[in-house]
Structure 1
Amino acid sequence: MTVTTVRFFAAARAAVGVDEVALDAVVLDEALRAVDAADPERWVALQERCSYLVDGVTTRDRSTSLAGVTVVDVMPPFAGG
């Protein structure tokens, strides 16, 4: 299994409480559920609205495989876009 760095931005960073974590997960949803968030309720609610960059490729499909993936960026909706 590959260790994947999950980086958090804006509201996601506020909900989780850190800039990034390193996780061992098979699919994106598993990685998101493994995050030990500072505000768990906010984190769970926010995941439904986020987009994810999986090694630079945008997805909203949380069943996306993380095999060989080095970086996932968690991108919440931003004002004006």
Structure 2
Amino acid sequence: MSDKVTIQVRYFAGARAAAGVEQELLALPAGSTVADAARTAAERHGEKLSGVLASSSFLLDGIAVRSRATRLSDGVQLDVLPPFAGG
């Protein structure tokens, strides 16, 4: 069993603007959670993304994440969805 998981993170709308990238790979320790991935992304991209992540929702392989304590598996895709304005 590997001691790392690598995930693909895709940023949408305001999260994409704050991160400055559309997507990236994150290597995290095995047993990492959605919260750990968000923290790592915030550390990598700074305060602007950190603020967006605080109010974002997430999809894990296309399924809504109900808890940021959800563990990540190697190779999963995590989508970051900031609040959208609309009407």
TM-score (norm 2): 0.79
* Structure 2, unaligned runs of 5 or more: none
| Structure richer in helix, relative to its length | 2
Equivalent residue number for residue 25 of structure 2 = 22
Counterpart-to-counterpart distance in 1, 2:73 and 2:23: 19
List structure 1 runs of 4+ shifted beyond 3 angstroms: none
- 2:16 counterpart letter in structure 1: R
Equivalent residue number for residue 5 of structure 1 = 8
Counterpart-to-counterpart distance in 2, 1:45 and 1:61: 18
Alignment pair present for 1:50 and 2:56: yes
Tell me the number of residue pairs that the alignment of Structure 1 and Structure 2 aligns: 79
* Structure 1, unaligned runs of 5 or more: none
TM-score (norm 1): 0.84
Percent identity between the aligned chains?
Answer: 38
Larger radius of gyration, structure 1 or 2? 2
